[in-house]
Chains A and B, each alone.
Chain A
Amino acid sequence: MTTTMTRIDAAISLEEAMQFAWLEGDLLDSADYDAWLALWTPTSRYVVPIEPGATDFENTLNYAYDDGMMRAKRVDRLTSGQSVSASPVPRTVRLLSRFRVLRSDAEGCELRCAQLLTEFRRERERSYAADIEFLFVRTADGLRIERKVIRLINATAALGGIGYIL
């Protein structure tokens, strides 16, 4: 083992976490879905809850509560051309900022940030603002996502169809 490698139990820094969150956002905006699917741990969840304070996602209705299999299906839906709402897939641009590390230790790093996303499809532009809570872990292959929770500020209001990955 080379001495320049980071130890697997080293806490993730704000700088590393930020870079990783941006990488994830960039892969989604540029529709590089295979690379996106590879960012996740086998036990990970992608969650878009409805109720603002929800934490027991498993026993609550969410907009999305995806394990690896569901994420792969979501990607298939966007790329298969079978879904009329995803043909074409909306263009998206997301800006992530206001990063704050809530906790970072050998177990992982909880990063909270803001996301402003603009979508465009069929002459219609819409935007969604959200708080994102990431849980990142360090693995032998680099950083991975263990959990991503997207709390839309208007989650309890009526949304439009979201034909892409938030």
Chain B
Amino acid sequence: MDTNLPTGSALDVLVQSDRARTTLYTDRALFEQEMTKVFENTWVWVAHASEIAKPGDFKTAHVGLQPVIVVRDRKGEVHVHVNRCRHRAATVCEVAKGKTSSFVCPYHGWAYALDGSLRGVPFEAGYDGQLDKPQLGLRSLRVEEYNGLIFATCKPDMEPLTDFLGGAKKWIDLFMKQGAGFPLITQGEHKFRFPGNWKIQLENTTDAYHFPLVHKSFLSAADRETVDSWDIMRKGGYVEDLGNGHSVMVMMPELVDLEADLDAPIPEKFEALAAELRHDHPEQQVRRIVRAVGGCGFNLNLFPNLGCSAAFFRVLQPISVDETEIRHVALGMQGGPAAANRARLRIHEFFQGPMGFGTPDDAEVWDRVQHGAAGGRDLWILLNRGLSHEEMLPEGGRRSDVSAETGMRAAYRQWKKLMEA
């Protein structure tokens, strides 16, 4: 029996430029192919530099379904190792984050240095000197970093990260300005799962269309200024395809560059914070911090697993064809004023996470998508919103209005390219 999926242009039955087949959310065989063809042939985000700031710091993550350890060695170099003992496959680390000087497998005690090399094998005499230790270090992936974002790839000849990010780099740089002059750091995370395919969440990071409806209860609870700033359907925002599956959705054009317009009036909701900051900071710095505290006015989608989303990182992790884990990583200013970092935490808690005023409603509608996708498997997921007025940009990108499905079209084009390869 031939269980191979269609290849080459035969994928047209699954994905076209303005639509995708419902089975993209439900087909188990397709999911398994994605985990290798997509996730093992691209750069996958694994950490922010601040999460492993010092030698010996590590965190565990995944590249597709492969468990990995992201660790900074004694010399400060970052490694991403497959979390699998070279003896008989046990994980060598089951701790989410921490500090260590080595990784010791709990099964028979093989010990690995931070750079992955195999250092110790208990009762080594049993191998009669035949064990080729230099060849039995942890498998390490290629690692590259851009502006604090650390990516790994399973593909040895993957293009350099900076080429892969391409047009997204400028937006990453803009996103990092929310440190307001301080280094950006992670400040904890909310982690939750929903019973649905990972691409449902991938689509959502550049989906302005759902915001006024799904997040009505958030808007009802928010103050007037926040509601005005979230009136994104009427603010002249846009979505741009940045190439390689990446896209940006500019929701609040006035908050694209957080270092511009520092003389603009301070929003009333941040007046108390500004007053507190004025005790210890000059006026220009107060303005810079206050302007950055709510994050920037856009969501940057980096295919396949990271969203730089207004004020936080959204990390998606496929679990199975119909289960996905999402992390919303809060950000802050390293060494910045505690009052401003607190304000960031409260803003994050308000919308994000399993008890936020936004996330549970997102999770509910994604769950509904997965449930509904059991019906009409031959029907299309429509991705054509905003296509009729999409402009081609001189540098090769495409742009349409804020609620256009341009970002989703970009992601599915990249998906198709990788699945066809």
Interface residues of A (CB under 8 A from B): 48, 50-51, 58-65, 70, 73-74, 76-77, 80, 82-86, 156-163, 166
Contact = CB atoms under 8 A, between A and B. Distances in A.
Report whether over half of chain B's contact residues are helix, strand or loop; otherwise say mixed. helix
Interface stretch (B25-33, B122-130, B191-199, B409-417): B191-199
A161 B345 contact: no
A163 B360 contact: yes
A90 to B, nearest CB: 10
Interface of B: 96, 187-194, 214, 216-217, 220-221, 325, 330, 338, 341-342, 345-346, 348-350, 353-355, 357, 359-361, 363-365
A73 B363 contact: no
B338 A65 contact: no
Given A158-B191, A159-B193, A160-B354, 15 more contacts: A48-B355, A50-B190, A60-B345, A61-B348, A62-B349, A63-B349, A77-B220, A83-B357, A84-B361, A84-B364, A85-B360, A158-B193, A160-B193, A161-B363, A162-B355
B341 A59 contact: yes
Which residue of A51, A76, A80, A161 has the most chain B CB atoms within 10 A of its CB atom? Answer: A161
A158 B325 contact: yes
Nearest to A62: B349
A83 B216 CA distance: 7
A65 B346 contact: yes
A77 B357 contact: yes
Contacts of A159: 191-193, 354
Contact of A161 (B194, B220, B338, B341): B194
A82 B349 contact: no
Which residue of B214, B221, B330, B342 has the most chain A CB atoms within 10 A of its CB atom? Answer: B221
Nearest to B346: A65
A166 B355 contact: yes
A32 B332 CA distance: 38
Contacts of B188: 50-51, 60-61
B244 to A, nearest CB: 28
- 5 smallest CB-CB distances across A and B, nearest first, come from A61-B188, A161-B360, A83-B217, A85-B364, A85-B360
A156 to B, nearest CB: 7
Contacts of A157: 191
A162 B192 CA distance: 10
B236 to A, nearest CB: 27
A64 B341 contact: no
Nearest to B338: A59
Contacts of B349: 61-65
A28 to B, nearest CB: 14
Given A65-B346, A85-B363, A159-B192, A77 B217 contact: yes
26 contacts: A50-B190, A59-B342, A59-B345, A61-B345, A63-B354, A63-B355, A64-B349, A65-B346, A74-B357, A76-B217, A77-B221, A77-B357, A82-B217, A83-B360, A84-B214, A84-B364, A85-B360, A85-B363, A156-B96, A156-B191, A158-B193, A158-B325, A161-B192, A161-B194, A161-B360, A166-B355
Contacts of A86: 217, 360
B172 to A, nearest CB: 23
Contacts of A64: 349, 355
Nearest to A51: B188
Nearest to B319: A158
Contact of B364 (A60, A77, A82, A161): A161
Nearest to B353: A63
B360 A162 contact: yes
A64 B351 CA distance: 10
A59 B349 CA distance: 12
A84 B354 CA distance: 14
Contacts of A63: 190, 349, 353-355
A80 B220 contact: yes
B38 to A, nearest CB: 22
Contacts of A51: 188
Contacts of A74: 357
Contacts of A160: 192-194, 354, 363
B190 A82 contact: no
